[in-house]
């Protein structure tokens, strides 16, 4: 089954709230109601107090009445409600508290729930406000408090509070104010179980390969003022200009895209005025980062920033639409696909020559003194999903032959414009399209007519073989790097901030990283067999197109704000270096000061002053079955060794004795550790250079040794 299409962090004008979603039948809270309260609560942070507070946004959908310097006045008739969105998701709070004033004869009428990204309502119970949640205040107000045990029993990450009327009420104005998250109640700290010592070793003389700096990449577009500080301080080394809408980017217009099935097949301008691909490249040069740019290959790009493909005025009512513009989602009210319009309704043709002109324009600007600005050109984005994401211009399913034909045509145009280019492809989304074409998936993998017509070879293997044959026949190399995307498919793991964080799902998230590299790991999803993605990619290359590099063009293990997400991110970054990848680009970038953010720090900025994993990968030894991962590196001159040690056990602490085999005696050692603190890595002041590294449960630890040479 395909993963959901890559999602943007949309600007606010793209957000649309559907009140109906608050009335859908997700699970009621099964937690026991709390006892009535008699005293005030301790507030951790306020979301709304006579106005939206810093770090929060107001996404309410009900009719409002202006009330400066007073509570919000809302009409909650017809199941009305309010959504307050936290700009940074969290999982930490004691509960939700707010003040409400409504006609007494309405009785109980409110429900409260949490959500994440407006798409995870089923994860969080909806809780009806009852007597045990209430405390009478002065002036007719009621204080409502709903504890996290009822709102968030799985301790999942959330970013919004939803308050709404679960039954029809009159149109009187309802006053709401002082919406806040409370301090978590007293929690008995879990005492880490000491499991004794672990003996680990780094083989100083066994340099495996040089680590590519491009494996620490992230994604998305020109720096936004509010985001740039943490993006480049995170230590990322490269950025990928990519995602679904990159397939429809018109470089000649500068900021014109079509956001495809992600949002009503609209042409839009997502960037600030003047922020174009060239600004993206210039930003990366100024931040000493490499750039990877997706080159449209679907054949059509946006003709403007206003058109859309399925107007309600032309197609009639649809399953979903944007009221302001009249853009529909291309599905009839009963969910059937509507006929695709002519591509020219939103787009202009973008043949290989159009892309060649773009590359030529980039190189001409480079030649004026800034040096090479693009380190990797990527042949489009997830073409196996074009019939879904871009079905308004490409409703046909992609076949083996079309993928090969387009790769040769567009790759040749790029090579002609930039002979030294590094070209990556096919940038496929995941497991199904590694092995089969979209034509096969419609017919079923048992029938697989397209694959059977091509010697019954897996799509990726056949693709590589044919491109190698093309190079030998013509002398033109149109591919340098095999690029595939990876998202875990296990239930509840999720991507980006989403994903469950119960102990079981947290452990599963970390285990799923083994699908990247471990031939013995049977994927715990509908795939139900070993994925071993990186070894599989390298095997396909050896057998079909020797000498190519390898890239994971998109990846993410979810729960970025939970330590399981941070550990999975650190594990992946370590494996990318260990497995000798050419490049990898996280989708899209971790939230500031999140565990996933600090996972990047472990490899790129662990001391806050640029301390980083070194140039050469070293062999390591870890006891079998130990819940620990160890990655090690050496500087070019051998004067520094840096290791990242992960404690993947949520309950147990370990003393890690890390032996340096084959090294001279180090002259100094620094140890840094992180286990979820918002301040990031702390320096562990251990005695000498040989004492054990004390690893907390669920922690990322960095050990740096220096040597006199």
In a domain, 41, yes or no: yes
Indicate if 238 and 356 belong to the same structural domain.
yes
User: Residue 13 pLDDT > 50, yes or no?
Assistant: no
> Does residue 496 contact residue 590 with C-beta atoms inside 8 Å?
no
Instruction: Give me the pLDDT at residue 385, please.
Output: 98
Average pLDDT over residues 671-684: 91
Tell me if the bond preceding 706 is cis, omega within 30° of 0: no
In a domain, 208, yes or no: no
Q: Which of residues 193 and 561 earns the better pLDDT score?
A: 561
Indicate if 133 and 275 belong to the same structural domain.
no
| Percentage, residues of the chain above pLDDT 70 | 90
The structure tokens listed for 143 are 């204080």
In a domain, 266, yes or no: yes
Least confident of 163-177, 226-240, 555-569: 226-240
In a domain, 5, yes or no: no
Indicate if 558 and 660 belong to the same structural domain.
no
Helix (H, G, I), strand (E, B) or coil at 315: helix
The structure tokens listed for 60 are 């309410």
Residue 668 CB neighbours (<10 A)? 11
Average pLDDT over residues 392-401: 98
Examine the fold and report which residue of 555, 579, 605 is the final residue of a domain before the chain moves on. 605
The structure tokens listed for 97 are 């508290």
CATH number at residue 661: 2.60.40.1180
DSSP letter string, 30-71: -SPPPPPP-S---EEEEEESSSBPTTEEE---SEEE--TTS-
Backbone angles phi, psi at 90, to 5 degrees: -150, 165
The structure tokens listed for 187 are 């929690």
SS3 breakdown of the chain: % helix, strand, coil, rounded to 5?
25, 30, 45
Instruction: Give me the pLDDT at residue 227, please.
Output: 47
Instruction: Give me the pLDDT at residue 116, please.
Output: 86
Average pLDDT over residues 353-357: 98
Least confident of 91-100, 115-124, 311-320, 352-361: 115-124
Indicate if 395 and 277 belong to the same structural domain.
yes
Indicate if 274 and 163 belong to the same structural domain.
no
> How many Å from the N-terminal Cα to the C-terminal Cα in the chain?
55
Indicate if 486 and 631 belong to the same structural domain.
no
Q: How do residues 164-195 score in pLDDT, each as one tens digit?
A: 999 989 999 999 999 999 987 543 444 555 57
Q: Which helix (H) or strand (E) holds 113?
A: strand 110-115
Q: Report the distance separating Cα 411 and Cα 417, nearest Å.
A: 10
Indicate if 489 and 584 belong to the same structural domain.
yes
Indicate if 327 and 378 belong to the same structural domain.
no
- Which residues, 6 or more positions from 462, have their beta carbon under 8 angstroms from its beta carbon? 400, 454, 455, 544
DSSP conformational letter for 577: H
Q: Report the distance separating Cα 359 and Cα 422, nearest Å.
A: 12
Q: Is 303 exposed, middle or buried (0-12, 13-18, 19+ CB in 10 A)?
A: buried
Instruction: Give me the pLDDT at residue 623, please.
Output: 94
Q: Is 645 exposed, middle or buried (0-12, 13-18, 19+ CB in 10 A)?
A: buried
> Does residue 291 contact residue 374 with C-beta atoms inside 8 Å?
yes
59 pLDDT tier (thresholds 50, 70, 90): confident
Q: Report the distance separating Cα 578 and Cα 572, nearest Å.
A: 10
In a domain, 206, yes or no: no
Indicate if 662 and 594 belong to the same structural domain.
no
Examine the fold and report which residue of 576, 605, 634 is the final residue of a domain before the chain moves on. 605
Average pLDDT over residues 375-396: 98
Indicate if 447 and 560 belong to the same structural domain.
yes
Instruction: Give me the pLDDT at residue 140, please.
Output: 87
CATH number at residue 394: 3.20.20.80
Number of domains within the chain = 4
- Domain enclosing residue 565, as ranges: 214-300+349-605
- Which residues, 6 or more positions from 474, have their beta carbon under 8 angstroms from its beta carbon? none
Q: Report the distance separating Cα 246 and Cα 220, nearest Å.
A: 10
Q: Report the distance separating Cα 508 and Cα 184, nearest Å.
A: 26
CATH number at residue 55: 2.60.120.430
Average pLDDT over residues 629-639: 97
Cβ density class 621-632: b for 16+ within 10 Å, e for less: ebeeebbbbbbb
Q: How do residues 476-504 score in pLDDT, each as one tens digit?
A: 999 999 999 999 999 989 887 788 898 99
Q: Are strands 110-115 and 158-165 parallel, antiparallel or unpaired?
A: antiparallel
Instruction: Give me the pLDDT at residue 230, please.
Output: 58
Average pLDDT over residues 539-543: 98
Examine the fold and report which residue of 345, 369, 398 is the final residue of a domain before the chain moves on. 345
At how many degrees (to 10) do helices 459-474 and 533-544 cross?
30
| Percentage, residues of the chain above pLDDT 90 | 73
CA angle 153, 158, 163 (to 5 degrees): 85
In a domain, 614, yes or no: no
Q: How do residues 31-41 score in pLDDT, each as one tens digit?
A: 444 444 445 67
User: Residue 6 pLDDT > 50, yes or no?
Assistant: no
Task: Write down the residue that tokens 């009445």 correspond to.
Answer: 65
In a domain, 282, yes or no: yes
55 pLDDT tier (thresholds 50, 70, 90): confident
Q: Is 199 exposed, middle or buried (0-12, 13-18, 19+ CB in 10 A)?
A: middle
Label residue 292 left, alpha or beta by phi (over 0 means left) and psi (-120 to 50 means alpha): beta
Indicate if 509 and 626 belong to the same structural domain.
no
**pTM attached to this predicted model:** 0.77
In a domain, 1, yes or no: no
User: Residue 25 pLDDT > 60, yes or no?
Assistant: no
Indicate if 479 and 522 belong to the same structural domain.
yes
Instruction: Give me the pLDDT at residue 121, please.
Output: 62
């Amino acid at each position: 089954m395909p993963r959901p299409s890559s999602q943007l962090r949309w600007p606010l004008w793209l957000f649309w709230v559907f009140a109906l979603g608050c009335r859908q039948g997700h699970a009621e809270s099964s937690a026991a109601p709390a006892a009535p309260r008699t005293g005030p609560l301790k507030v951790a942070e306020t979301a709304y107090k006579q106005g939206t507070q810093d770090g929060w946004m107001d996404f309410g959908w009900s009719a409002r009445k202006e009330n400066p310097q007073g509570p919000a006045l809302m009409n909650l008739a017809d199941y009305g409600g309010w959504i307050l969105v936290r700009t940074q998701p969290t999982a930490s709070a004691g509960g939700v508290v707010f003040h409400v004033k409504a006609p007494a004869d309405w009785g109980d009428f409110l429900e409260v729930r949490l959500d994440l990204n407006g798409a995870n309502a089923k994860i969080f119970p909806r809780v009806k406000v009852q007597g045990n949640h209430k405390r009478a205040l002065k002036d007719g107000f009621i204080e409502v408090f709903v504890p996290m045990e009822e709102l968030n029993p799985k301790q999942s990450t959330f970013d919004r509070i939803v308050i709404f009327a679960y039954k029809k009420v009159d149109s009187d104005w309802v006053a709401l104010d002082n919406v806040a998250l409370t301090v978590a109640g007293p929690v008995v700290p879990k005492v880490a179980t000491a499991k004794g010592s672990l003996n680990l070793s780094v083989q100083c003389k066994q340099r495996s390969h040089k680590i590519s700096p491009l494996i620490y990449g992230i994604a998305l577009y020109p720096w936004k003022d509010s985001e740039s500080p943490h993006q480049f301080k995170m230590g990322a080394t490269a950025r990928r200009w990519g995602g679904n809408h990159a397939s429809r980017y018109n470089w000649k217009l500068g900021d014109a895209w079509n956001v495809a099935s992600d949002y009503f097949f609209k042409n839009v301008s997502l960037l600030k005025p003047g922020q174009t691909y060239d600004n993206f490249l210039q930003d990366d040069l100024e931040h000493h980062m490499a750039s990877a740019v997706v080159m449209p290959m679907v054949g059509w790009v946006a003709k403007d920033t206003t058109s859309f493909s399925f107007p309600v005025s032309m197609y009639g009512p649809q399953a979903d639409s944007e009221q302001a513009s009249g853009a529909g989602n291309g599905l009839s009210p009963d969910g059937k696909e509507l006929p695709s319009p002519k591509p020219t309704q939103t787009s202009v043709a973008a043949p290989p020559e159009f892309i060649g002109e773009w590359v030529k324009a980039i190189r001409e600007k480079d030649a004026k003194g800034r040096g090479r600005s693009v380190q990797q050109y990527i042949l489009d984005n997830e073409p196996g999903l074009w019939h879904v994401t871009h079905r308004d211009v490409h409703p046909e399913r992609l076949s083996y032959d079309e993928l090969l034909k387009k790769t040769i045509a567009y790759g040749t145009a790029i090579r002609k414009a930039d002979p030294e280019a590094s070209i990556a492809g096919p940038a496929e989304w995941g497991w199904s399209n590694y092995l089969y074409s979209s034509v096969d998936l419609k017919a079923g993998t048992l029938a697989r007519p397209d694959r059977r017509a091509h010697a019954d070879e897996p799509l990726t293997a056949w693709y590589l073989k044919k491109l190698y044959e093309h190079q030998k026949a013509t002398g033109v190399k149109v591919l340098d790097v095999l690029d595939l995307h990876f998202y875990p498919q296990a239930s509840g793991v999720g991507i980006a901030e989403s994903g469950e964080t119960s102990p079981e799902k947290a452990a599963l998230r970390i285990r799923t990283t083994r699908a990247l590299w471990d031939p013995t790991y049977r994927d715990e999803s509908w795939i139900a067999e070993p994925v071993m993605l990186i070894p599989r990619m390298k095997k396909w290359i050896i057998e079909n197109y020797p000498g190519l590099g390898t890239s994971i063009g998109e990846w993410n293990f979810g729960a970025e704000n939970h330590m399981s997400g941070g550990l999975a991110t650190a594990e992946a970054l370590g494996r990318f270096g260990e497995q000798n990848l050419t490049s990898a680009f996280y989708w899209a970038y971790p939230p500031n000061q999140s565990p996933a953010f600090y996972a990047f720090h472990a490899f790129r900025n662990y001391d806050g002053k640029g301390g980083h994993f070194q140039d050469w990968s070293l062999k390591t030894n870890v006891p079998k079955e130990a819940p620990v991962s160890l990655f090690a590196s050496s500087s070019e001159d051998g004067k520094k060794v840096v290791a990242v040690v992960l404690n993947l056990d949520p309950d147990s602490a370990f003393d890690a004795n890390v032996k340096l085999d084959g090294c001279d005696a180090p002259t100094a050692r620094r140890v840094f550790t992180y286990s979820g603190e918002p301040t990031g890595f702390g320096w562990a002041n251990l005695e000498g250079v040989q004492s054990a590294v004390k690893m907390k449960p669920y922690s990322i630890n960095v050990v740096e040794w220096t040597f006199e040479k």
